[in-house]
A and B are shown apart, each in its own frame.
Chain A
Amino acid sequence: MDITLPILILAIPFAMFLILGIGGVKMPRKLAGSIGILANGALLACCYTVAFTYFFSGDPLFIIDGVRQQYQVFDVTWLAFTDRLVVNIGFLLDPICAMMLVVISTISFMVHLYSWGYMEHEPGFQRYYAFLALFTFSMLGLVVATNIFQMYIFWELVGVSSFLLIGFFYKLPSAVSASKKAFIVTRFADLFMLIGILVLSYYVAQTPADGPLGGASAFNFLMLNSHPTNVLASTLGATFMGGSVLTWAMILIFVGGMGKSAMLPLHIWLPDAMEGPTPVSALIHAATMVVAGVYLVARFFPMYCIVPDSLTFITVVGAITAFYAAVVACAQIDIKRVLAFSTISQIAFMMVSLGCAYDQPIEGVHYSGLGYMAGMFHLFTHAMFKALLFLGAGALIHAVHSNDYTKMGGLRKYMPITHWTFLIGCLAIAGIPPFSGFFSKDEMLTAMYNRDIIWGVWMTIVAGLTAFYMFRIYYLIFWWEENPEYKHDGHKPHDAPWQMSLPLIILAAVSCVAGFIPFGEFVTFNGEPYHIHLEGWVAGTSITVAVLAIALATVMYAKKNPLPSKMRQAMPGLWMAAHKRFYWDEIYMFVTHKIIFGGICRAIAWFDRHIIDGTMDALAAVTNFCSVKIKSFQSGNVQAYVAWYLLGALLLGAITWICLL
């Protein structure tokens, strides 16, 4: 395959970052914005061409006997530390990568276009586009990584660009603290990921460097995915604290994914990240960056399959997070926070699905990797409809100038385009056919029921909660009771300009039809096509649950009525706990401020101030004291100098004389 397009895919956004970042200040807004959008359009074309070539060309590089292959377009040595520790940079093309290229470039383009309208009057418009380009570059670099190190480098770059964009409104203290929180939490999680990679490398380094599996090739995904057992053979014997070293390493690597994907208990940064501009939330904190953790698990999946315990861990973490986030989303007032918790919940859904994809025969039927396909399918559909919902929320905020649903209500008459597209997004996420979320969620639930009925039931409940909270927020925004302020002229909300409405309509259209994509033909665990067929009873159950949840939401929120406040008063403790996100932030504050800062750090600070600084201060004090004492010698009186000199000379003479005697 020609390497021009793959190189362009990385080069265009990076060049845009440099051009807009360095020269943006000198450019007029319109020029900077249009350059950004046009370059992103070119990038979109490149990504689509590469992905479609991969999926449809039938080239034996990509597909052999109907089995899709992983193909390294290029892989060059970047840093060669030793003959074993070599860091490569390359471009790996495989089903999930090609799928992610489509997702990232599509959402990125929509967000670029949308931001033209949304950010029009904000200062730093050019800087904003530069950061968007940096993020796009990092995310694309992450998904095309050929080896663990490249992935880690871009993984951190994604974190940096997320930090920059959350803190875009750097004059708002809340945005600044949110960006710091996001960076520190994800960086803290990445520390574990780094430890995991180092543990792996320590054991893999013991294989011969010159063999096909030794040295740098041990970190190549191509190698890891095709011969995971051989590459990792040396890790299998070693154990640590009752688990094999490989299990620990894979769990540690997953912790990095937990940080980026906001799994419990590292989820606390994502709700606060909503301080960033809303299109950024759509791009980074809904569609692309936060699914990096899911992508990570998918990328390492053959290795996770060697140690099923780690997959069980992923399943448990995902299941708890999904339920927790869904409950919290029911009690939030800020619509972006609702969407943020919904994102956490849906990503956890994908995690559970991947965790349940472990190759295990049940009643003679081999459900190989269904959960993997379903998780990736949901990643795809979720990216589309969640970006749609966030962009819709952005249009609402743009019109109402508030994030709270209490300032909204009855907006369906004023903002028809936003209303209909938001409704489509809600139906998609709730899992109502024929919208896309239904198909992917159904496959995921099937995989979970196949793994264990407990996970199936548990996640069906979460799916019901999802439908409930999404329609709660939908009704509270668009129905309920009209905000009386809208009657005044000048306060009347209206639909957004075309740059903002067009992405909404496109994404809504995609959300309507994406479910009919035969996704199993494209992305599967082992490259062989999987024919999606709806499991009747699973589909029936999930539709029933979703419809019941929507009906409940309709009864409670379609018109202003005292029912919600009655329910709130019936269980004030639960409502308050859910509203306060079950006090996770308070727990973190307690641990960091009271225990770490107040206890451990205070002792360390005392040691620093009194022992280390004390030693230095003592040295300085002694020197100072001596200087004060002898400074009178430096009188400027030449005769005194001579006298002292004479005294010294006589003394030396006397000593010499005594010694000679």
Chain B
Amino acid sequence: MDLEMLWYLVPSVIMFCAGVFGFITRKNTIALLLSLELMLNAADLNFVVFNRYLFPGSMEGMVFTLFAIAIAAAETAIAIAIIINIYRAVGNSDITSAQKMKF
């Protein structure tokens, strides 16, 4: 059973690391958003896997996953709106052109 769970967890780790790597290295904010989604989906996958294999009797992990998907959808809408505004303001959607946000 442990071996079977690992099949799911390894792709999850790969997805998460790819997300982190992409988030740190890419310049385009759309790409950043995609990386972010990757990390979220990795976490969701973990929820589902742990719920299914470790606590088969309960449903909390599933519910949280659905919840996180819904939140992620809303968050994506906001992020797209911010990106569009950045684009309107500076003419491109590179993250390096949004450095003034520290003020």
A residues within 8 Å of B by Cβ? 634-639, 642-643, 646
Residues of A within 8 A of B100 (CB): 636
**In the complex, chain B residues whose CB is within 8 Å of the CB of A646:** 20, 24
Please, how many angstroms separate the alpha-carbon atoms of A638 and B83 in the complex?
14
Chain B interface, >50% SS class: helix
> Smallest CB–CB gap between A645 and chain B, Å?
10
A642 and B24: CB pair below 8 A?
Answer: yes
Interface residue tally for chain B (C-beta within 8 Å)? 13
Q: Which one of A634, A637, A642, A643 lies within 8 Å of B96 (CB-CB)?
A: A637
- Judge whether A639 and B95 touch: CB under 8 Å: yes
* Nearest 4 interchain pairs by C-beta: A636-B102, A636-B99, A639-B24, A643-B24
- Residue B72 interfacial (CB < 8 Å): no
| Residues of A close to B25: CB separation below 8 A | 639
Cβ contact within 8 Å between A638 and B20 = no
Given contacts A635-B99, A639-B25, 20 further A-B contacts (CB under 8 A): A634-B102, A636-B99, A636-B100, A636-B101, A636-B103, A637-B95, A637-B96, A637-B99, A638-B32, A638-B98, A638-B101, A639-B23, A639-B24, A639-B32, A639-B95, A642-B20, A642-B24, A643-B24, A646-B20, A646-B24
A sample of 18 cross-chain residue pairs with beta-carbon separation below 8 angstroms, ordered by A number, consists of A634-B102, A636-B99, A636-B100, A636-B101, A636-B102, A636-B103, A637-B95, A637-B96, A637-B99, A638-B95, A639-B24, A639-B25, A639-B32, A639-B95, A642-B23, A642-B24, A643-B24, A646-B24
A634: chain B residues within 8 A (beta carbon): 102
Interface core residue of A635, A639, A643 (most chain B CB under 10 Å): A639
Residues of B within 8 A of A (CB): 20, 23-25, 32, 95-96, 98-103
Q: How far is the CB of B28 from chain A (nearest CB, A)?
A: 12
Chain A, residue nearest B103 (CB): A636
Contacts of A636 in B (CB 8 A): 98-103
A-chain residues with CB within 8 Å of residue B99 when the two chains form the complex? 635-637
Chain A residue nearest in CB terms to B35: A642
B18 → A minimal CB distance (Å) = 14
A639 to B25, CA, bound (A): 8
Distance between Cα atoms of A635 and B102 in the complex (Å): 7
Q: How far is the CA of A637 from the CA of B20 in the complex (A)?
A: 15
Least CB distance from A567 to B in Å reads 85
Chain A residue with the shortest CB-CB distance to B25:
A639
Cα A25 to Cα B75 with chains together (Å): 67
Residues of A within 8 A of B102 (CB): 634-636
Chain B's closest residue to A638 (CB) is B95
Bound CA–CA A643/B98 (angstroms) = 17
Chain A nearest CB from B77 CB (Å) reads 19
- A634, A637, A638, A646 interface centre (most CB from chain B within 10 Å): A638
Q: Residues of B contacting A635 with CB < 8 Å? A: 99, 102
A637 CA / B97 CA spacing, docked (Å) = 9
> How far does the alpha carbon of A637 sit from the alpha carbon of B23 in the complex, in Å?
12
Q: How far is the CA of A284 from the CA of B101 in the complex (A)?
A: 70
Q: B27 — nearest CB in chain A belongs to which residue?
A: A639
Q: Which residue of A lies closest to B23 (CB)?
A: A642
Give bound CA distance, A635 to B98, whole Å: 11
Alpha-carbon gap, A634 to B99, bound state (A): 10
Which residues from chain B contact A639 at a C-beta distance below 8 Å? 23-25, 32, 95
- Which residue on chain B has the smallest CB distance to residue A643? B24
Q: How far is the CB of A642 from chain B (nearest CB, A)?
A: 6
Chain B's nearest CB lies how many Å from the CB of A516? 90
- Docked complex Cα distance between A109 and B52 (Å): 104
Q: Give the CA-CA distance A613 to B100 in the complex, in Å.
A: 38
What is the minimal beta-carbon distance from B89 to any residue of chain A, in angstroms?
Answer: 15
Complex-state Cα separation, A642 to B23, whole angstroms = 8
A608 to B24, CA, bound (A): 52
